[in-house]
Amino acid sequence: MTTSNDLLIEIGTEELPPKALQTLSNALTEGVVAGFKKAALEAQEVVSYAAPRRLAVLLKGIPEKQKDQLSERRGPAIKAAFDAEGNPSKAAQGFARSCGVEVDALDRLKTDKGEWLVFKQELAGQSTAELTADIVSKSLATLPIPKRMRWGSSELDFVRPVHWIVMMLGDQAITDKVMDISAGKQTVGHRFHHPAAIELHHATDYADVLEKTGYVVASFAQRREVVRQQAEAAARELGGIAKIDASLLDEVTALIEWPIAVSGSFDKKFLDIPQECLISSMQDHQKYFPVMDQSGALLPHFITISNIDSRNPAAVREGNERVINPRFSDAAFFWEQDRKNSLESYREATKKITFQKQLGSLFEKTERVATLSEDIAKQMGANSSDAYRAATLSKCDLMSDMVGEFAELQGIMGRYYAQKDGETNAVADAMQQQYQPGFADDVIPASTTGKILSLADRLDTLLGIFAIGMKPTGSKDPYALRRAAIGVLRILIEGELSLDLKQLLNSAANNFNDDIKADEAVNETFAFVMERLRAYYKDQGIAGSVVDAIASVN
């Protein structure tokens, strides 16, 4: 009976790209598991580890060697293998030679379809230890790394320099080479708290030893939860709630090995700036978690996650506070400068921004969208003046200093600046809502004017790009047309708008220059959007056959 054991594989590197850490970890795990499965070796449980300086996989309960196998190789048919006197033909002799035996050593296989010569051989299974280095090497070679790098004098390349490799089966080291490094049972702890090597005594000791001795929480999921809990606890001590964005939480988790939450504060005067500006600066530039009150208003505090357990946390706090205040001073300056101008005053500058070479400037696009928005509003019996005005102002905030510094605030700042200028609530709200839905689970615009503007903007982009022959191909979709199509469908369906999609596309076509020939692209654009409809309803649990039946009526 084959015995099982636990196999540990760890790749120790320089700091890995934080946004790619989970992808790399998943790919390594999948590659290793698939490699052993191909070798007929499957673990009872697989555990992945991912930290800034390491990727690791623990395969629990994997057989220590392959089962012995009976290999059966079929040769020529008996009729072709022997002549009338029973002497072996050249075909039989050649087959025997290729098997390394005499013809007399071959067996015969008889089936309903005939009889053949066969060569049967008992093959001894290889040990898991013998197979590991090759499987790991192949898995590393196929990791999704857009840009590899080399280091030292080696010709090898990887996402970051590799410094150590651990391969252990139970308590035994597998010392074969991977990436020109002899593997063993020595890992390395935290860069600062425990930079020395740590010898492992058993594969299953890995996570516990790193945490208790090396100051490294190797499990990404465990470390992520530690970060969350520490941030929430620190915010509670400040009388608030930590605003924890999922993508930021993942990024922070990928940046640290030993999470220690440190709270900080900033000058209350900065709260006069729209809180979205401050939150954006904290999250995107500093990787801080903002602290909010019960009503969702920003408090003058933040939480940062340090990668060291400092003996002087006050110094860490003061250092972070010194960094954030100049950032906020910049935001305050942009806010004051932008408010000296009306939102409409930025419209002239959009003439110098190219939307797409053949489709013209951003100004020309907003002109088309404004005309289409007005038309849609009239079809709906909505306020066409608000719709037209919102469209003409829709891209103006892109020219502001604040959005130039914080691109993710597009639309949000447009709403603030429109409110400052005395625009109607419908126009101001549409500035932000035009970008909704921005992702799969995002909401659609809440206001009628917002729905109209968002719909018109997407239809103009879809039809324009199709008209110039740049429709999506395979995985390439530089203008995010698939997402735009889903957005159109969601606004029409979930917004309960009784509008004819093909009629809307025909209306949009009338707004393009004659040389674009947008009218010729209407049917293809319509078909593209309808293809997305099938996927949309599939997510709603509605069968594709039902969607096809309804579509065929059109």
The CATH number that applies at residue 397 is 1.10.3210
**Higher pLDDT residue, 11 or 550?**
11
Domains contained in the chain, number: 4
Q: Are 284 and 206 within one domain?
A: no
pLDDT reading at 547 higher than 80: no
Mean pLDDT of 10-21: 96
Q: Are 54 and 75 within one domain?
A: no
174 Rama class: left (phi>0) / alpha (psi -120 to 50) / beta: beta
Q: What percent of the chain has pLDDT over 70?
A: 98
Q: Please name the residues in contact with 105: beta carbons below 8 A apart, sequence gap of 6 or more.
A: 96, 119
pLDDT band at 550 (very low <50, low <70, confident <90, very high): low
CB atoms within 10 A of CB 447: 20
Question: Residue 553's pLDDT is what?
Answer: 62
Owning domain of residue 227: 220-340
Distance CA 242, CA 477 (A): 36
Q: Are 402 and 546 within one domain?
A: yes
Distance CA 1, CA 357 (A): 70
- The single residue listed with the structure tokens 């709270």 is 263
Average pLDDT, the chain: 94
Among residues 340, 372, 400, the one where a domain terminates is 340
Question: Residue 1's pLDDT is what?
Answer: 57
Question: Residue 321's pLDDT is what?
Answer: 95
One DSSP character per residue, 318-376 reads HHHHHHHHHHHHHHHHHHHHHTTS-GGGGGGGGGGSEEETTTEEHHHHHHHHHHHHHHH
Q: Are 302 and 237 within one domain?
A: yes
Question: Residue 552's pLDDT is what?
Answer: 66
Q: Are 326 and 452 within one domain?
A: no
Among residues 57, 89, 123, the one where a domain terminates is 123
Q: What percent of the chain has pLDDT over 90?
A: 83
Mean pLDDT of 399-409: 94
Mean pLDDT of 317-334: 94
Assigned token pair, 233: 């606890």
Q: Are 491 and 531 within one domain?
A: yes
Q: What is the CATH number of the domain that holds 205?
A: 3.30.70
Q: Are 195 and 229 within one domain?
A: no
Q: Please name the residues in contact with 442: beta carbons below 8 A apart, sequence gap of 6 or more.
A: 436
Q: Are 131 and 119 within one domain?
A: no
Distance CA 456, CA 9 (A): 53
Cβ-contact 479, 470 below 8 angstroms: yes
> What pTM was estimated for this model as a whole?
0.83
Question: Residue 551's pLDDT is what?
Answer: 63
Over residues 187-224, the pLDDT tens digits come to: 999 999 999 999 999 999 999 999 999 999 999 999 99
pLDDT band at 146 (very low <50, low <70, confident <90, very high): confident
Among residues 213, 245, 268, the one where a domain terminates is 213
Q: Are 448 and 362 within one domain?
A: yes
pLDDT band at 157 (very low <50, low <70, confident <90, very high): very high
Mean pLDDT of 279-302: 96
Nearest one of 143, 132, 153 to 26, comparing CA atoms: 143
Cβ-contact 339, 272 below 8 angstroms: no
Q: Are 83 and 231 within one domain?
A: no
Q: Are 349 and 420 within one domain?
A: yes
pLDDT band at 544 (very low <50, low <70, confident <90, very high): low
pLDDT reading at 143 higher than 90: yes
Question: Residue 112's pLDDT is what?
Answer: 86
Q: Are 521 and 452 within one domain?
A: yes
pLDDT reading at 111 higher than 90: no
